[in-house]
Copies of this chain bind each other. A is one copy, B any other.
């Protein structure tokens, strides 16, 4: 009856994140905030509270409020040659719905899709479930998990409809640099291939500065009309509990096609959530919210790096430059651990929760786990302390 494979990451999270006393360092969101926290971040005391409880809860603007689409459009305009009109942004219930919806609209049986790997399972399994052939564009540890354009060239077929990337990448935390993005755009343009860049972790960069010549703009800012960006309030903006994501693209005909299909899946997003997202992205809140999260990421990655340096006999990684996750390999006696058993054993004995990469991202990641390190600093500190005790007892 089911045509789709179990979504391993989501099922693992759902199964274990409610473990009593859990030290959750599996979560991919920058530590979540409440409405009260959001209001406390506002730099202008004259801005009214984001919740207007007297608003009639009708469906509201079907494609998302003008205010919200406008604020997002201006974010996509920042490093682009020309501004993105607000009509080129569609609001969806989370980035997961944005990705699903555009794949459902644009992918047909017989299409070929290239998808970066490892990445969020949705991005390659939904095209498959829609009847497409999917080739995995593999990120290699030896190349710091940065995608290789030479590999891509060999994968493109006559029927390649879409190339899918995730920048910054989950689970590796790698950033695809500007020059690689430009090369990708050149390749796609030559063959009229759509690019989907899942930018849900954007703009949470902590290992590359905006002044760096390789700092990546959004895929939408590189002058190729058929480049689509998706994003959400969940990860870099700490608001997963409001279900607001989006799709942005310079090609209005793609937006209209997706909007037509969107009528069958969505109607509108929550009016309450739209109000909260508009508030969070307003100039009085956005900078302090992002500032908080980038600072949190920079503080926490230092703690994680110290841990890995301390236990370098059994631990290794490629240090992330963006996003909220890191892929960390654990060994015992020079051999990769059985990461599923390792995760379950660590959870049981130390209450520390993270994800087994071989189960969630593919067998080639045996021995690695995904750690979400942009949680509350105290949670990470305690989790690393417990994990250190575990390592000392069991891996050395």
Partner-B contacts on A (CB < 8 A): 1-4, 6-7, 10-11, 13-14, 27, 29, 32-37, 39, 51, 53-60, 62-63, 93-94, 96-97, 100, 104-106, 108-109, 121-122, 125-126, 129, 131, 234, 238-243, 253-254, 257, 260-261, 263-273, 276
Query: Nearest Cβ distance between residue A373 and chain B, in whole angstroms?
Result: 16
Given contacts A241-B270, A272-B276, contact A7 B263 (CB under 8 A): yes
Once bound together, how far apart are the Cα atoms of A106 and B97, in whole Å? 19
Q: Is the CB of A267 within 8 A of B57?
A: no
Query: Can you report 28 residue pairs joining A to B where beta carbons are below 8 Å apart?
Result: A1-B105, A2-B260, A2-B261, A4-B261, A7-B264, A10-B263, A10-B267, A33-B57, A34-B57, A35-B53, A35-B54, A35-B55, A36-B54, A37-B56, A55-B241, A59-B234, A93-B93, A93-B243, A93-B266, A96-B264, A97-B265, A121-B264, A241-B268, A243-B243, A270-B272, A272-B272, A272-B276, A273-B273
Given contacts A105-B2, A264-B122, A266-B93, contact A56 B271 (CB under 8 A): no
Once bound together, how far apart are the Cα atoms of A46 and B65, in whole Å? 35
Once bound together, how far apart are the Cα atoms of A132 and B46, in whole Å? 55
Other CB < 8 Å A-B pairs besides A1-B106, A93-B243, 10 of them? A1-B254, A1-B257, A2-B261, A4-B261, A29-B59, A32-B56, A97-B265, A109-B109, A241-B270, A242-B271
Q: Is the CB of A105 within 8 A of B3?
A: yes
Once bound together, how far apart are the Cα atoms of A1 and B29, in whole Å? 34
Given contacts A7-B263, A14-B62, contact A268 B243 (CB under 8 A): yes
Which residues of B have CB within 8 Å of A266? 93-94, 96-97
Query: Nearest Cβ distance between residue A225 and chain B, in whole angstroms?
Result: 14
Q: Which residue of B lies closest to A57 (CB)?
A: B241
Ranked nearest first, the 7 interchain pairs of A and B with the lowest CB-CB distance are A57-B241, A7-B263, A241-B271, A35-B53, A10-B263, A32-B58, A93-B93
